[in-house]
Amino acid sequence: MAGERTIVVTGCSSGIGAHCARALKADGWRVFATVRKPDDLSGLEAEGIEAFLMDYARTETISDLVGAVLERSGGRIDALFNNGAYGQPGAVEDLSTATLRAQFEANFFGWHELTRQVIPPMRKRGQGRIVQCSSILGVVPYRYRGAYTASKFALEGLSITLRMELQGSGIHVSLIEPGPIATRFTANALAKIKEHIDLENSPHAVDYIRQLARLDGSGPVNRHKLGPEAVYSVLKHALNSKNPRPHYPVTTPAKQGMFLKRLLPADLFYRLMRWTD
């Protein structure tokens, strides 16, 4: 076990995190996976994956995780895949500041805290990989996704700055920017919009009808949606390549969005995005 490469993967109860944790284990990594709910531990542990409870919004759970991983691995953390997150839909004017703050606690500040805590053992070994599962919405804005978009824009800026600051240390930072991926993400987003947004009394009430249809599956099916294996294919490159890329867009819409943002005048691009559903 001492020779196995070790990786911390967050958000492993389902979707991208669960798939990548299992695929990494199959590829020979020693995987330390995190979940937020105790009921999600047993499934991972049954497959030989070391699982821990961690909540990005609770700093003490982050410190406990890092301490436990370092103790079990003899002080070795080769890689971190920050992945656990949720999306809070809703028009910007309908978001309370408390709701926006909660989005940032889970999607940004907690990621920063975990990242900071794994860098010292990586520096000690003179090597490491930090991969952030961002989103195409960290590069391209989208209506009614302001909270999530803001958290991912912030993550993009912080992570690329960190990448530049760590140059020469042996620690590489990369961002994965998925478009639509088949996970429970939209189901969780549906619960959040119902919990925090006054749908009926909003000036955006008519638009919310379409948004709810997209989230509950009653609307049009996105033919570009891929499975989580598409994310794992680029995660492997970010973890194993001698020169990992700063950005890894995943899915056709993500690649098209990045291309069009570079190609089109800003006003035209944002007007085009205004009518994209």
Q: Is 115 helix (H, G, I), strand (E, B) or coil?
A: helix
Q: Are the CB atoms for 7 and 79 separated by under 8 Å?
A: yes
Query: Does the active-site annotation cover 144?
Result: no
Options 148, 208, 232, 248, the catalytic residue: 148
Q: Collect all residues with Cβ–Cβ distance below 8 Å to 125 and sequence separation of at least 6.
A: 76, 78, 170
**161: which 2 tokens?**
């700055």
Q: Are the CB atoms for 4 and 173 separated by under 8 Å?
A: no
> Among 41, 80, 235, which Cα is nearest to 166's?
80
Q: Alpha-carbon distance 28 to 92, whole Å?
A: 44
- Count of positions (residues) in the chain: 277
Q: Alpha-carbon distance 10 to 27, whole Å?
A: 18
Q: Are the CB atoms for 263 and 219 separated by under 8 Å?
A: no
The Cα angle at residue 89 between residues 85 and 94, in degrees rounded to 5: 130
Catalytic residue list: 148
